[in-house]
Amino acid sequence: MDCVDNTGAKVVQVITVLKKGGVARRYPAAGVGDMIRVTVRRGTPETRRQIFDAVIVRQARPFRRVDGTWVQFEDNACVITNRRGEVQGSDIKGPVSREAAERWPRIAATAKQIV
């Protein structure tokens, strides 16, 4: 998964989904707006092999909004945050989904484009 902020992480791997439980020993599924725990696979030497909390801001799989429209992005992307949802970086590259922006106000304040 791509990391689209300016914290130094480029590619991250999902470790677990926070605040969700799986069913019958399955890993819980995560979607747009969910908080996850990630480890940095590619990035600056200071951030590599570190564990962070992140919020998913885009997903490639189509998902349905409450008004009935279907939304799909070109990639899977997340933003590194702390436990309270405050963005660690100062810039978010690319669009952010409206679901993530409504759930996490600090991400909405940092995002340039909300779709």
Determine which of 20-29, 56-65, 86-95, 102-111 has the lowest per-residue pLDDT on average: 20-29
C-alpha dist (Å) from residue 48 to 12, 41, 43, 51, 94: 9, 6, 6, 9, 23
Which residues have CB under 8 Å from 45's CB, separation 6+?
none
- CATH superfamily, domain 2-114, is Ribosomal protein L14/L23 (2.40.150.20)
Q: Mean pLDDT across the stretch 70-88?
A: 97
The 10s digit of each residue's pLDDT in 34-49 is: 999 999 999 999 999 9
Domains of the chain by residue range: 2-114
To 10 degrees, the CA torsion angle through 82, 101, 104, 60? -50
